Amino acid sequence: MGTIEGAVNIPLQQIRGRLGEFRKDQTIVLFCGVGLRAYMAERILRQNGFENVFNLSGGYKTWEYAVQKQSNEDIFEKSIIGKDDQIYSTDIEAGRKEREVAHARIDVKTLEVNAAGLQCPGPILELKKAINQVAQGDRVLETASDPGFAQDVKAWCEMTGNNLINLQQEKGQITALIEKGVPAGSASGPAAQGSQGASGLPPSALNTSLIMFSQDFDRALATLVIANGAASAGKKATVFFTFWGLNLIRKNPKPRVSKDFMGRMFDMMLPAHSGKLKLSKLNMGGMGVKMMRGRMKKLRIDSLEQMLKTAMDNGVRMVACTMSMDVMGVKKEELIDGVEVGGVATYLQAADQASNTLFI
């Protein structure tokens, strides 16, 4: 069969009679054809006080294949390993180009973001903030525990023109490596293909508009999640608050304003601010909302009020319907700062420039 150069060959059945040829202060590596007889020899030596004894995994047959000349060895004939552990060619010109590529790769900076524990849309919002902090070509390494993040980050990268380099899921943790690319809608981004973008729509149509008609807590929550998601993808989002939806954007505490009789009647019947909104289902006299808010806090989901602030900070346009304000006796002074007031033409302009409109 063969043997390893420099080895001392002793048959298994002779081991016990030749123990004097072994030294206990040396490392002993035993081998046979595939490892079975070597294992038995190892047991004999250990029973006789030898401790530093090892069995060559796979035996001689595995070793023989491991040391054979490889079919691709010659392609590395003129290569060396540099101090930075990169492989370089000894050819001067080729080596110079390889070093330039390697140095360019080394210069890439990576910003690490830990979004573990945050629920949608938290991880995507954190990713948007991180991408804004790095230069084009640099990377963001984000870790999240939200199960939906694996799909969301793929969609987000496609919408924004950034590159998803790697995505891994292990033990409930999702890790994504994103390289900052050319922003969608820029002169050379995915949305700049002549006068149309990757979706076939002009850049001005890659926006989102929402109509907030309801005063239900859960529907308001859905509206703000979508609006924040659109903003994180670089879209211009407009939320048009009409009728009962106006109660989401009223100030807390409520300011004192002069109203007519019908305005005061509406005040008595409507929620004073977002903290008074009810669930559309399972409200249970207000217990449902308390349970929902408590659950959101436990899962580290932003409160409704924090989502509203985040949306406005991210540039989401908030417009209050003037006709609804007049009918319901709502004054501009009662609305939170940063909310515009506008009529149907204002909304239609935003909708005309949007690729989709959602009525909630």
* Per-residue pLDDT reduced to its tens digit, 72-95: 655 556 666 666 666 655 555 555
pLDDT per position as a tens digit, 309-318: 999 998 999 9
Instruction: Write down the catalytic residue from 32, 120, 157, 321.
Output: 120
The pLDDT of 156-169, averaged and rounded, is 87
Calculate mean pLDDT across residues 119-136: 87
Does residue 211 share a domain with residue 156? no
Q: Same domain for 279 and 294?
A: yes
Residue 195 inside a domain? The answer is no
Same domain, 227 and 315: yes
Give residue 52's domain range.
12-66
The answer as to whether 202 is a domain residue is no
| Same domain, yes or no: 98 and 115 | no
The label of the residue with tokens 């005309």 reads 352
**Residue 32 annotated in active site:** no
Q: Is the peptide bond before 183 cis (omega within 30 degrees of 0)?
A: no
pLDDT of residue 82: 65
Q: Name the average pLDDT for the chain.
A: 83
Co-location of 52 and 142 in the same domain: no
Look at residue 200 in the predicted model and tell me its pLDDT.
47
What does the CA dihedral 149, 151, 152, 154 come to, rounded to 10 degrees? Answer: 120
Structural domain count, the chain:
4
Q: Please tell me whether residues 171 and 291 are part of one structural domain.
A: no
pLDDT in tens, 215-271: 999 999 999 999 988 888 878 899 999 999 999 999 998 888 888 899 889 888 988
Same structural domain for residues 246 and 215? yes
Q: Are residues 250 and 351 in the same domain?
A: yes
313 and 265 within one domain: yes
Residue range 19-57, pLDDT digits in tens: 999 999 999 999 998 888 888 899 999 999 999 999 988
In a domain, 72, yes or no: no
Is residue 172 packed enough to be buried (19+ CB in 10 Å), middle (13-18) or exposed (0-12)? exposed
- Predicted pLDDT of residue 193: 45
**Residue 304 pLDDT class (50, 70, 90 cuts):** very high
185 within a domain of the structure (yes/no)? no
Strand, coil or helix: 71? coil
Across 232-249, b (16+ Cβ under 10 Å) vs e yields: bbbbbbbbbbbbbbbbbb
